[in-house]
Structure 1
């Protein structure tokens, strides 16, 4: 999550490392004009970008996944906070984790997390990372008020539509 993509021209060492390690880099462009310091810092990422990232990391074949940003943790922390909502974490736990890994949480950060509403398709159980709802029964997940199974008649192929 940086304003400009990493290319062999912009960062030859990183590009070479990624190539040597067979790492696929996915660039999520952020708003480079957003104020990123202080109590009134803005949010340089929008909910649709967070959804794009969450959809990516929930596919087992995309893991392991490293999420990083250009400002020391705010954007990464926001994405992970939205991910924790998907995992049914309480707001208190989400904000505690945010503060542990970011320099601080401001009003805009809290509003972004609290107001994050998303509807997206999750991979079916065979394609989904196994740890997303580790220890929770399928009944709880499938009957949760914000998650519903798609209309697909074949349960093995059915994806889940999540609405936070």
Structure 2
């Protein structure tokens, strides 16, 4: 008889993707996603939703000594609401800091708020607007993208509003920004 070994299913969170080496995006991980997320060896989680992460995810973050940065924003309904702008810029500055190591950017579903942060990151990286929008739409479910996010929050994003750290203190994937 074959030995009975427990098999751990490795299931990524919804809308998971590797954005850059050591930078990931996703929906807020559920308990069944935690074995997968554990393998990412995260140093920092950047939370973009106004609602709190699940108690299981918060407990997992604490138990693993991961830095938790909350830049939660509510539903994006107006172009560059001051709260949205402040929190997106804060998240981008945290992303840029090499000291934050391996990072997961996440919100409830990993679509609009996370997508806005990653879209603005792509603008910092001098991506074309077409490529930036294509990536944003890949995670928003086709027709669920928001014109406010695209035209106002991403396209009109002022790159000079982010105070990037000195080159030696900056994430490698932002060296050219």
TM-score normalised to structure 2 length = 0.62
1:53 aligns with 2:94: no
Q: Which runs of 4+ in 1 moved over 2 A?
A: 13-16, 41-45
Cα RMSD for the two superposed structures: 2.2
1:1-164 mapped onto 2 (5 Å cutoff): 1-6=48-53, 11=55, 13-31=56-74, 34=75, 42=77, 46-103=84-141, 104-111=144-151, 112-118=153-159, 119-133=161-175
What are structure 2's unaligned runs of at least 5 residues?
1-47
Deviations 1:105-148 (A, max 9, x none): 22212222112124232111111111224xx5xxxx6xxxxxxx
TM-score normalized by structure 1? 0.66
**Separation in structure 1 between the aligned mates of residue 51 and residue 149 of structure 2, nearest angstrom:** 23
Residue segments in structure 1 that go unaligned for 5+ positions in a row: 35-40, 142-164
User: What SS does the corresponding residue of 2:162 show, helix, strand or coil?
Assistant: strand
For each residue in 1:61-119, what CA deviation from the matched residue of structure 2 results, as whole angstroms up to 9, or x when unmatched? 10211000124411101110000000000000001111112223222122221121242
The equivalent residue for 2:43 is none
- Relative contact order: is structure 1 or structure 2 higher (C-alpha 8 Å, sep ≥ 6)? 2
Partner SS state of residue 166, structure 2: coil
Q: Answer yes or no: is the 8 Å Cα contact 2:89–2:162 preserved in 1.
A: yes
Partners of 2:121 and 2:130 in 1: CA distance: 14
Which is strand-richer, 1 or 2? Answer: 2
